[in-house]
Structure 1
Amino acid sequence: MQLGIGTYTYGWAFSINGQTTTRLFTENHLLEKAKSFGLNLVQIGDNLPLHEFTADQLKDFADSAKKNDIQIEVGARGLTAEHLDRYIGIALKLNARLIRLVIDQKDYEPGLPVIINIIQNALRDLEKHHITLGIENHDRLKTSEFVQIVESVSSPNVGICLDSVNSMGAGEGLEQVVKALAPYTVNLHIKDFGIQRLPHSMGFQIDGRPAGKGMLNVPWLLENVSQYGRCQTAILEQWVVPESDPEATIEKEDWWAQESVEYLKNYF
C-alpha cells in the first residue's frame, strides 16, 4: 500500500472559508509538500475542483507531477452520470488510476437504484481505461448501503474509499465500519481523531488529531484493510482544530502533516 497526501491533508489551506490569508495552497504546493515528505502520491479532492481547471492547467499539473515522479489521484463530489464521465476524462488527462467520489452534494442525495445505475453505465469506460472508482463512505448512507452498491455493481473497478471517521456521522463506530467495508476498500483515508466530553458534560465533541496522537489504531486499521489485497493507496487526511487566526491555522495544519507523515512512514 502506498502512502500519500491530499488536498484534505490541508483542508484549511485549500479553503479557508472566506477568511483573509495570503497562504492558500495550489496543486503545485501539494506536489512540493509530497516531495518534501519523500512521498510520490497526491490525491486531489473536491476542495480543489479539477473540473474548473482549463485544459492548459490540467496539462501543466500533469507535467509537473510527472517531472517530480508523483502519481495523481482525482476526487469529486456529486454522483451524476455527467459528472462521473467528466472525471473519467480528467483522470485520463492526469494519468490517474483512481477516482475518489462522494455521492452527495448540496441539494442532491440520490437513492440506491440511481447510484447503482449511474455506476453500471460507466463501467465500460472505467474498465477500458483501467480506472478504479472509489465511493467514499460519507455520513448519509449506512455501511450496509455502501456494501449493497459495490456488490450490485460487482466490478473489480468499483470499490470503497474508506474514511476512518466519516461514518460516525451516520451513527456507526469504526470497528463496525471496517469490518463491513474493508473487503471492498480500494483507497484508504487515514484520519486520526479524538472524542472528549464537553465542559458542561452534556455531550461529546469529535475532532481531529495528528496521526498516532488520537484514538485511531493505525496498525489495526492497516492490517484489516490490507488483508484483502484490494487497497493500493492510503491518503493522510486531517481534521485540524482551527486557531483564531487563519495564518496560524495553516501553520498548525502543516505541523500536524509533518508529524503525521513521520509517524505513518513506520507502517509503509
Structure 2
Amino acid sequence: MKIGIGTYALFWEFSDRNPEPLGIAGMIDRAAQLGCDVFQICDDPRIEELDAHALRELRERAEILGLDLELGTRTIGRDHLARYLDIAETLGARTLRTMIQTHEIDAGPESAVTELRATVPRVESGDITLALETYEQVPTATLRGIVDALDSPRVGICLDPANCVSALEHPKDVVESCADRTVNLHVKDFAFARQEGWVGFTYSGAPLGEGLLDLDHELGAVYADGRSPSAIVEHWLPWQGDLSTTLAEERAWTDRTLAALRDWRSVHRPPASA
C-alpha cells in the first residue's frame, strides 16, 4: 500500500487566488517533504505544455526524491488517451486515471467499451494501468460493467465514493461494488451542511473523521485479498475567507489524512516473512 497525495490535495496552492502558485515540480517537492510514496498529477493541464525533456526532468526529480508518479486526465477518446499514455511513459507513471464523460455513454455503455478496447492493447503491452474513476455522471453499476466487459488486468477502477453521493449512491455500496476491481484509491472525507436559513444543503469536503466517509470500511474492502492500489489523498476544501487561512487548513487536512492512512497501514501491514 503506497500512500501519497494528488493535485487536488494542493488545490488552493495552485489556484488563481494564489499569487505564487505551486508548479508541478513544487508539488513533487511538497509530496516528498510530506514523506509520501507517490504523487498523482491529476487534471493539471500544465502537464500538456511540457516537452519530453521537461517531462524527463520531472521524472528524474521524483526518482531522486524516492517518489512514484501517477497521471490523471479525463475522457476515454483513443487519441486523447494515446497522448496521455505518451506523457505517462515519459514520466515513468504506471497508473493513468481517467473519467468517462456523459456523452461517451449516450449511446449506451457498449460504445465506451468499444472506444476503450482501442487502448487496451497498449496498456496491456506496457507497464501502465488504466483506472476509470467513479463519479456521478456514470452510475457505478455501469462503470463496473464496462470494466468487467473489458476484462483486462490493466484496466480497473479508481475508487472515490465521495463523487457518487450527488447521484444518490450510498458510499458503502459504491465501495463494496468496486473494491475488488480497484486499482487506484482517492481518499477524502465529505459531508452535508445546512445552508443559511435551513433551506437546502451544501455538499463539500470535511476533515477526515468528521464527515461521512467510513475509512476503515473503505480500506478494509479495497486492501482485502492482497490487493495493493496506491491511496491518494484529495480534498474538497471550501475557501476559508483568505488565502493564508485556506492554505493552513488545506495543509492540516492533508497531514490528518496522511497520518490516518499510515496508522491503518501500520496496523494492517502483512507480517514480514521469516
- TM-score scaled by length of structure 2: 0.90
Give the Cα separation in 1 of the matches to 2:59 and 2:211: 35
Q: Give the whole-Å Cα distance in 1 for the aligned partners of 2:70 and 2:242.
A: 31
Query: SS of the counterpart of 1:10?
Result: helix
The answer to whether the aligner puts 1:93 opposite 2:90 as a matched pair is: yes
3-state DSSP of counterpart to 1:165: helix
Pick from 181, 204, 216 the counterpart of residue 207 of structure 1.
Answer: 204
Aligned residue for 1:260, secondary structure, equals helix
Report the more deviating stretch, 31-40 or 86-95: 31-40
Q: Does 1:110 align with 2:104?
A: yes
How far the C-alpha of 1:194 sits from its partner, in A, is 1.9
Which of 221, 238, 249 pairs up with 2:218? 221
Match 2:33 to one of 36, 40, 65: 36
Tell me whether 172-181 or 201-210 shows the greater mean CA deviation.
201-210
The residue aligned with 2:270 is none
- 1:236 is matched with 233
Cα contact 1:211–1:264 (8 A) shared by 2: no
Among candidates 44, 53, 64, match of residue 56 of structure 1:
53
Aligned pairs for 1:72-221 (under 5 A) are 72-104=69-101, 109-111=103-105, 112-221=109-218
**CA spacing shift, 1:12–1:103, aligned 2, 3 Å:** farther
Q: Does 1:260 align with 2:257?
A: yes
More displaced 10-residue stretch of structure 1: 223-232 or 139-148:
223-232
**Is 1:4 aligned with 2:4?**
yes
Please identify, of 194-203 and 118-127, the stretch whose mean Cα deviation from structure 2 is larger: 194-203
Q: Distance in 2 between matches of 1:171 and 1:101?
A: 22
What is the deviation of 1:247?
4.1
**Whole-Å separation in 1 of the counterparts to 2:8 and 2:71:** 12
Q: Give the CA deviation at 1:141.
A: 0.9
Higher mean Cα deviation, 204-213 or 87-96? 204-213
What letter is aligned with 2:4?
G
Letter in 2 for 1:3: I
DSSP-derived class of the 2:104 partner: coil
Instruction: Provide closer, same or farther for how the CA distance between residues 120 and 49 of structure 1 changes in structure 2, counting only shifts above 3 A.
Output: farther
3-state SS in 2 of match to 1:207: strand
Q: CA deviation digits over 1:187-206, x for unaligned, max 9?
A: 11001112223332333222
Gaps of 5+ in 1: none
Contact 1:3 1:233 in 2 (8 A): yes
Question: How far does residue 124 in structure 1 lie from its aligned partner after superposition?
Answer: 1.2
For 2:12 and 2:112, the matched residues in 1 are separated by: 30
The alignment partner of 2:237 has SS state of: coil
Question: How many pairs are equivalent?
Answer: 262
The percent of aligned pairs where both chains have the same amino acid is 31
Per-residue deviation at 1:114? 2.6
Structure 1 residue runs of 4 or more that deviate by more than 6 Å after TM superposition: none
TM-score, structure 1 as length reference: 0.92
RMSD between aligned residues: 1.7
Report the 3-state secondary structure (helix = DSSP H, G, I; strand = E; otherwise coil) of the residue aligned with 2:85.
helix
For residue 118 of structure 2, give the secondary structure of its aligned residue in structure 1. helix
Quote how far apart the aligned CAs of 1:97 are: 0.9
Q: Which has the higher helix share?
A: 2
- Tell me how far 1:52 sits from its aligned partner: 2.3
Verify the 8 A CA contact 2:189 2:235 in the aligned structure 1: yes
